[in-house]
Amino acid sequence: MSEEPAFSTILEEIYQAHVSSSDSDDGLESNGSARVKLAWQARRHHAGRNSRMVKVLGYEKLILVLALVLFPLGHHFRGRREFSIAWLGRSIDTVMGLYLRFIASQAETLKKLASNDAFPDYKTVNATLERADENGPEAAEAQKQINLWKAQINNSQDASDLAVFNDVFYKIDAYAEEVFTPVHTDIGEKTNAYLDALNDYRHNVVEFLRTKWLEGSNDVIEANDIMRQYDRITARIAVWLSPQDSANNAPIPLLSGWLLDYAWSSLNAVKEGIIEVCSFYIYPRRLCAIPC
């Protein structure tokens, strides 16, 4: 078996060990079953003398993020370079640890957006977002409410199923590439160009999701649990992508291939600075070659 199919099989086995174990609800740092399966695979491939595979399997955090975070999100991510042994073998360096943290944090955001926790319906949220765009005391009150909703999303605790996004990532990704590529140097900044692009992106994503998930059904949203959940997800996304809050920075796009490409290129652009900071403080420069 060639490297990529073999690697995919390994990730599948680690993922299955995770979902079938009693610790399947635990985070990356405490998943014992996945770690046991990974250690067994690493020993097996070390005996087979596949040095590139051994190098990749030896990076525990990398494998756990791929197997437990990206792999379950479907084909949009599985076809990417992060699942290529050749690319991983070349790319395990100073910025990989930061990149993995970024991936995990963005997946965690998606979990919060898909949470089953109580949340206002989209109609209520959209009316508030529209008031926030106006002037006067009503706009100020609407902006306060948006901030409260964002805090509510951040504090989401209930279970969520990210599989709901698996067949829409391709479209979320296409919208990100379309609107953010011309302003890629402004991502997350409150520049007029980026805020205009973010507004277009939010509108496109929410409209697409509501069309795909909710239109064409004869059921009343509140009378159908699945439709009600879809309605709340789009409401959360509309709030999350709204720049009308007191934060210094604007929201960034949702997790997709385009965002990963942007994050990887951005981290590599400041790679030398990361090495310099690393060497200036605790560790000798040679240790900065080890991914964190």
| d(C-alpha 42, C-alpha 30), whole Å | 19
Please tell me whether residues 158 and 226 are part of one structural domain. yes
**Within-domain flag for 47:** yes
Question: How many whole angstroms separate alpha carbon 253 and alpha carbon 249?
Answer: 13
183 and 136: one domain? yes
d(CA 64, CA 167): 23
Q: What pLDDT, on a 0 to 100 scale, did the predictor assign at position 240?
A: 97
In a domain, 55, yes or no: yes
Is residue 244, in this structure, part of any structural domain at all? yes
pLDDT given for residue 282 in this prediction: 47
Q: Do 79 and 120 share a domain, yes or no?
A: no
User: What pLDDT was estimated at residue 181?
Assistant: 95
The tally of domains found in the chain comes to: 2
Q: Which domain holds residue 123?
A: 110-258
The model carries a pTM of 0.87
- pLDDT for 96-116, tens place per residue? 999 999 999 999 999 999 999
Looking at residue 286, what is its pLDDT? 38
Residue 278 has what pLDDT? 56
From 47, 63, 92, give the residue that closes a domain: 92
On whether both 119 and 221 belong to a single domain, the answer is yes
Q: Are residues 87 and 133 in the same domain?
A: no
Burial class of 3 by CB neighbour count within 10 A (0 to 12, 13 to 18, 19+)? middle
Exposure string (b/e) for 98-111, b if CB count within 10 Å is 16 or more? bbbebbbebbebbe
Whether residues 241 and 134 fall in one domain: yes
Q: Does residue 101 belong to any structural domain of this protein?
A: no
Clarify whether residues 85 and 141 are in a common domain.
no
Query: First-to-last CA distance in the chain?
Result: 31
pLDDT score at 218: 61
In a shared domain, residues 114 and 189: yes
Q: What is the pLDDT of residue 205?
A: 98
Has residue 42 been placed in a domain?
yes
61 and 166 belong to one structural domain: no
Give the end of a domain, one of 61, 92, 123: 92
pLDDT in tens, 54-110: 889 889 999 999 999 999 999 999 999 999 999 999 999 879 999 999 999 999 999
Q: Which residue positions in the chain have pLDDT lower than 50?
A: 47, 282-292
Q: Residues 202, 177: contact at Cβ < 8 Å?
A: no
- Residue 13 phi/psi, 5° resolution? -65, -40
Among residues 50, 43, 54, 56, which one has the least CA distance to residue 87?
56
Is there a single domain that holds both residue 81 and residue 216?
no
Q: Same domain, yes or no, for 119 and 224?
A: yes
